[in-house]
């Protein structure tokens, strides 16, 4: 991209110091190039094109009046202030200034005609304006609305405005796509970039302000289309660059493809995935079969797979991962599986060992707190290739870990990992120009619009079906003062032989407080459930699990609960992801109002995994106030109304915006400034098609477009 020449200062004769202060402020706003200035759009507008009459004004109106100064005096009661009485011919208004310069006092001298703009307050003493903006009433009224720009301290609106307009005049605004291309979306979208920008920087006075404010105006449509297009081109480009990389071809050997018919009594040699399938205690759901085939197809190609497997909690992602691993191992390569927490990684490890070791697969376990000797042994197994499957936490991507031939990397709960960690895992295949296949899994379904925008460089497979036999979890939202009833219910479940989770509240930014709280709750529940016996006639055990516990202790608590020796598990949110105990039928979440929506959904997914009817109790507290806050109430309502992960995710997107979904992935990547994924779906779909057209047929324009919008931030320019 040709860098624009250094921007000449618009204030030619201003002292050097002043110039650099403005430059600094502009840089802070990210306004370095002319085009950056041109794309710095107003937050809102003020209407100085009209003069209102006091007679017609209403309380609370923001209005501009033109009036004659009748009186101007400094008053000291109740505090020092400048009190100016003006008359616009229809009524009187008092302007008050608590801080003022002598120059202002002079401009407001008796007999001057001024225009003042501010909010009108009506008291029984008549109209007043507090600290109105004013100027002397000379010259014509402006023809355009006055734009108000996002700014930083030390950069006044009028200075910024001048810079923006200068940038707008200098910038290259030639279209990268023609306005007609947008007409598929809206017949009113026939605006060029230049027209749209000039308009938005100074819209005519008669424009419908609402259309500007809610970004539905055609000029905004053009800008949003531009922005989305840049994002789509950049992602499509990244994807195409990846298509030039190579990966090991992992072809599933299917006995019925081309093999001659076998004699009826010849022993059939099953491939590893096939053996695994016959060993499973259940049949795959249709969704699992479909997704498994999509993954197998990707891995059989020469190009690295880059696939996201999304499926609601409990949809059975683990077995899909195991099947992919089996294909990889069968082809003679290594597979790694990485999970964000030790508990989750260990659970995967056990499950996968249980499935694969009887079939002759050698597995290895890698975590941060292994003893040195044990670790050395594991590292040697991984390096020699003896370990065919390596499961672990972040420890898997450490530099010391050298694989012999890693061909498939699986990341569970991918949103908990950052770009750097994904890259580290991908770099573990040490062959020039090659990368392992990458399978990412998430239980936080990504709404379609997000998948199409931020995740457009991924292929997505979706498990949209739960295994049969699940009973939906009944969710109850219950006020904290009914805690005793809830405990009664726990007792009942335990006596029926069921197991229960009690999730302790999240205390923001204080792990220590989390801990005290969990410990106290644990003690209280132990006391309350004293003397309760389980269906097996044993004394009910109440266990505690929190993140500060030593790994060994965590392990033994989890084991006791998993094996059914523990009736109630009190826990901080460490159980959030992936824990699988089908006998658990009740979950109580204390201070549910403090949790995010997808977090609540994840937690709730820990119950309802077996055949028993399950319930989730969302205990809430309103603290000192009588009602819950608006968003908390909406979250709890959503939880009670639906258990569909996609619906939850959609509502979460509405309540919180996209930031939370993107998690670590987001860092350093350009967020959308103008487009709103909740409402701009049609534009997004258009941008997706157009990106392809531009990259295929007008690569120079495509590059220009991305450079204009994303500057140095784009993958496009790095690649």
> Do the strands 81-87 and 92-97 form a parallel or antiparallel pair, or are they unpaired?
antiparallel
Closest approach, Cβ 609 to ligand ADP, in A, equals 6
- Comparing CB distances to ligand ADP, the nearer of 101 and 282 is 282
Chosen from Mg ion, ligand ADP, none, partner binding at 313 (C-beta under 5 to 8 Å by type):
ligand ADP
- The region of 23-31, 483-491, 571-579, 618-626 touching Mg ion under the rule CB under 5 A is 571-579
Q: Which residues in 20-53 are b (16+ Cβ under 10 Å) and which e? A: eebeebbeebebbbbbbbbbbbbeebebbbeebe
Residue 658, binding choice from Mg ion, ligand ADP, none, Cβ under 5 to 8 Å by partner class: none
The per-residue DSSP string of 329-383 comes to: HHTT-EEEEE-SSHHHHHHHHHHHHHHHGGGT--EEEE-TT--HHHHHHHHHHHH
Q: In sequence order, which residues have a C-beta less than 8 Å from that of residue 700 and are 6 or more positions away?
A: none
Contact 351, 293 (CB under 8 A): no
Q: How far apart are CA 500 and CA 566, in angstroms?
A: 9
340 scored as a contact of Mg ion (CB under 5 A): no
Nearer to ligand ADP, 328 or 584 (CB): 584
Nearest Cα residue to 655 out of 675, 672, 678, 671 = 678
Residue 400 host element (H or E): none
- Residue 316 near ligand ADP by CB under 6 A: yes
- 254 contact partners, CB below 8 Å, separation of at least 6: 271
Measured from the CB of residue 315, what is the shortest distance to ligand ADP in angstroms? 4
Residue 568: CB minimum distance to ligand ADP, A: 21
Site for Mg ion in 501-560 (CB under 5 A): none
- Asked if 645 touches ligand ADP (CB under 6 A), the answer is no
Whether the CB-CB separation of 534 and 494 falls below 8 Å is answered with yes
Residue 318 is a binding residue for ligand ADP (CB under 6 A): yes
Shortest distance (Å) from residue 471 CB to ligand ADP: 13
Q: Which does 18 bind (CB under 5 to 8 A by kind): ligand ADP, Mg ion, none?
A: none
Of residues 337 and 503, the one with the C-beta less far from Mg ion: 337
- Determine the residue with CB nearest Mg ion: 578
Q: 């390096």: which residue's tokens?
A: 383
Residue nearest to ligand ADP (CB): 316
Q: Are 92 and 127 in contact (CB under 8 A)?
A: yes
Min. distance of Cβ 322 from ligand ADP in angstroms? 9
Least Cβ distance, residue 644 to ligand ADP (angstroms): 15
Q: How far is the C-alpha of 205 from the C-alpha of 45, rounded, in Å? A: 10
Could you tell me where the beta strands, DSSP code E, fall in 142-209?
Answer: 146-148
Question: Least separation, in Å, of the C-beta of 159 and Mg ion?
Answer: 54
Query: Is 198 or 285 the residue whose CB approaches ligand ADP more closely?
Result: 285
Tell me the closest approach of the beta carbon of residue 367 to ligand ADP, in angstroms: 19
Shortest reach from residue 609's CB to Mg ion, in Å: 11
Binding mask 254-293 for ligand ADP (x = CB under 6 A): ----------------------------x-xx--x-----
Q: Which is nearer to ligand ADP, 7 or 609 (CB)?
A: 609
Measured from the CB atom, the residue of 231 and 315 that comes closer to ligand ADP is: 315
Q: State the minimum distance, in angstroms, from the CB of residue 151 to ligand ADP.
A: 47
Please, which residue, 120 or 313, has the CB nearer to ligand ADP?
313
Of the residues 42, 132, 311, 608, which one makes contact with ligand ADP according to CB under 6 A: 311
Side-by-side strand order, sheet with 459-463: 363-366, 389-392, 334-338, 406-411, 437-442, 306-311, 459-463
What is the nearest approach in angstroms of Mg ion to the Cβ of residue 348?
A: 8
282 binds, among ligand ADP, Mg ion, none (CB under 5 to 8 A by kind): ligand ADP
CB of 288 to ligand ADP, least distance (A): 6
CA distance 416 to 438: 16
Please answer whether residues 276 and 323 qualify as being in contact, where contact means their C-beta atoms are separated by less than 8 angstroms: yes
- On the 0-12 / 13-18 / 19+ scale of CB atoms within 10 A, 494 is buried
- DSSP codes, 564-606: T--SEEEE-GGGTTT---TTEEEEEETTGGGS-HHHHHHHHTT
Calculate helix-pair angle for 272-279, 317-330, nearest 10 degrees: 150
Q: With binding defined as CB under 6 A, does residue 499 bind ligand ADP? A: no
Instruction: Return d(Cα 623, Cα 352) in angstroms, integer.
Output: 45
Cα–Cα distances (Å) from 380 to 219, 352, 364, 409, 428, in that order, read 62, 21, 10, 19, 15
Q: Can you name the residues that pair with 121 across neighbouring β-strands?
A: 128
Query: Which C-beta is closer to ligand ADP: that of 18 or that of 282?
Result: 282
Q: Which two tokens stand for residue 487?
A: 């405990």
Q: Which is nearer to ligand ADP, 524 or 663 (CB)?
A: 663
Pick from Mg ion, ligand ADP, none: which does 711 bind, CB < 5 to 8 A by kind? none
Closer to Mg ion at the Cβ: 273 or 578?
A: 578
Contacted by 288, from Mg ion, ligand ADP, none: CB < 5 to 8 Å by type: ligand ADP
Taking CB under 6 A as the criterion, the residue among 514, 580, 590, 680 binding ligand ADP is 580
Using the CB atoms, write b or e for 322-353: b if 16+ within 10 Å. bbbbbbbbbbebbbbbbbbbbbbbbbbbebbe
CB-wise, 435 or 580, nearer to Mg ion?
580
Nearer to ligand ADP, 314 or 436 (CB): 314
Instruction: Report in angstroms how near the CB of residue 347 gets to Mg ion at its nearest.
Output: 8
- How many CB atoms lie under 10 A from the CB of residue 700? 9
Task: Rank residues 35 and 575 by Cβ distance to ligand ADP and give the closer one.
Answer: 575
Question: Minimum distance from CB of 334 to ligand ADP (Å)?
Answer: 22
CB of 192 to Mg ion, least distance (A): 50
- The residue count for binding ligand ADP (CB under 6 A) is 18
In angstroms, the first-to-last Cα distance of the chain is: 13
**Interface map 600-639 toward ligand ADP (x if CB under 6 A):** ---------x------------------------------
DSSP, residue by residue, 290-338? HHHHHHHHHHTSSSPPEEEEEE-TTS-HHHHHHHHHHHHHHTT-EEEEE
Among positions 576-615, residues that touch Mg ion (CB under 5 A) are 578
Alpha-carbon span 651 to 639, nearest angstrom: 10
Which residue stretches of 7-150 are H helix?
16-28, 34-38, 102-107
Which residues lie across from 64 on neighbouring strands? 117
CA distances from 94 to 68, 372, 703 (A): 11, 80, 57
Residue 609: contacted member of Mg ion, ligand ADP, none (CB under 5 to 8 Å, by partner type) = ligand ADP
Task: State in angstroms the smallest separation of the CB of 562 from ligand ADP.
Answer: 11
Measured from the CB atom, the residue of 424 and 584 that comes closer to ligand ADP is: 584
Cβ closest to ligand ADP, residue 321 vs residue 592: 321
Give the footprint of ligand ADP on this chain (CB under 6 A).
282, 284-285, 288, 311, 313-319, 443, 467, 578, 580, 582, 609
Give the footprint of Mg ion on this chain (CB under 5 A).
578
């Amino acid at each position: 991209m040709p860098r624009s020449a250094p921007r000449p200062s618009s204030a030619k004769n201003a002292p050097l110091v002043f110039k650099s202060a403005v430059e600094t402020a502009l840089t802070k706003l990210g306004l370095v190039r002319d085009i950056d200035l041109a794309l710095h759009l107003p937050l809102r507008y003020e209407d100085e094109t009209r003069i209102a009459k006091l007679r017609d004004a209403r309380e609370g109106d923001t209005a501009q009046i033109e009036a004659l100064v009748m009186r101007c005096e400094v008053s000291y009661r109740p505090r020092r202030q400048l009190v100016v009485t003006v008359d616009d011919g229809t009524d009187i208004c008092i302007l008050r200034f608590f801080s003022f310069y002598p120059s202002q006092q002079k401009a407001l001298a008796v007999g001057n005609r001024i225009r003042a703009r501010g909010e009108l307050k009506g008291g029984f003493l008549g109209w007043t304006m507090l600290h109105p903006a004013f100027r002397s009433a000379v010259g014509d009224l402006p023809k355009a609305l006055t734009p108000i720009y996002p700014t930083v301290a030390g950069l006044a609106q009028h200075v910024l405005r001048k810079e923006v307009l200068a940038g707008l005049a200098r910038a290259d605004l030639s279209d990268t796509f023609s306005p007609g291309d947008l007409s598929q979306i809206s017949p009113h979208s026939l605006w060029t970039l230049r027209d749209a920008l000039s308009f938005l920087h100074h819209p005519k006075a008669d424009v419908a302000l609402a259309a500007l404010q809610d970004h539905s105006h055609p000029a905004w449509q053009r800008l949003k289309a531009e922005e989305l297009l840049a994002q789509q081109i950049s992602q499509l480009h990244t994807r195409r660059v990846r298509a030039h990389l190579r990966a090991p071809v992992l072809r599933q050997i299917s006995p019925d493809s081309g093999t001659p018919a076998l004699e009826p009594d010849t022993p059939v040699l099953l491939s590893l995935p096939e053996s695994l399938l016959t060993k499973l205690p259940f049949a795959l759901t249709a969704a699992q079969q479909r997704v498994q085939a999509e993954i197998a197809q990707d891995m059989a190609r020469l190009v690295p797979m880059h696939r996201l497997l999304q499926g609601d909690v409990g949809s059975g992602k683990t077995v899909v991962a195991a099947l992919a691993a089996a294909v990889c191992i069968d082809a003679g390569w290594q597979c790694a599986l990485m999970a964000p927490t030790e508990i989750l990684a260990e659970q995967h490890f056990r499950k996968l060992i249980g499935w694969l070791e009887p079939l002759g697969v050698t597995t290895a376990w890698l975590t941060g707190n292994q003893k040195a000797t044990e670790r050395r042994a594991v590292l040697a197994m991984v390096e020699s290739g003896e370990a065919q499957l390596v499961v672990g936490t972040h420890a898997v991507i450490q530099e010391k870990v050298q694989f012999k031939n890693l061909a498939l990397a699986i990341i569970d709960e991918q949103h908990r990992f950052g770009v750097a960690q994904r890259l580290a895992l991908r770099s573990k295949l040490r062959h020039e120009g090659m990368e392992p296949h990458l399978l990412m899994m998430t239980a936080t379904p990504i709404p379609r619009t997000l998948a199409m925008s931020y995740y457009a460089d991924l292929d997505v497979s979706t498990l949209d079906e739960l295994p049969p036999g699940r009973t939906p979890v009944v969710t109850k939202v219950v006020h904290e003062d009914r805690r005793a009833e809830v405990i009664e219910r726990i007792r009942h479940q335990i006596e029926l032989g069921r197991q229960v989770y009690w999730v302790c509240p999240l205390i923001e930014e204080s792990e220590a407080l989390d801990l005290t709280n969990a410990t106290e709750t644990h003690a209280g529940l132990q006391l309350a459930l004293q003397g309760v016996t389980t269906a097996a006639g044993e004394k009910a055990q109440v266990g505690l699990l929190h993140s500060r516990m030593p790994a060994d202790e965590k392990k033994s608590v989890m084991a006791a609960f998993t094996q059914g020796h523990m009736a109630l598990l009190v826990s901080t949110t460490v159980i959030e992801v992936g824990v699988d105990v089908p006998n658990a039928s009740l979950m109580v979440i204390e201070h549910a109002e403090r949790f995010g929506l997808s977090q609540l959904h994840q937690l709730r997914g820990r119950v309802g995994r077996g055949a028993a009817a399950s319930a989730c109790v969302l205990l809430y507290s309103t603290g000192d106030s009588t009602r819950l806050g608006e968003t908390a109430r909406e979250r709890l309502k959503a939880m009670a109304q639906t258990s569909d992960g996609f619906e939850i995710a959609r509502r979460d997107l509405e309540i919180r915006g996209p930031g939370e979904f993107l998690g670590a992935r987001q860092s350093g990547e350009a967020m959308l400034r103008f487009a709103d994924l909740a409402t701009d779906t049609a534009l997004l779909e258009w941008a997706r098609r157009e990106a392809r057209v531009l990259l295929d047929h007008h690569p120079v324009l495509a590059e220009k477009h991305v450079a204009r919008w994303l500057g140095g931030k784009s993958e496009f320019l790095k690649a």
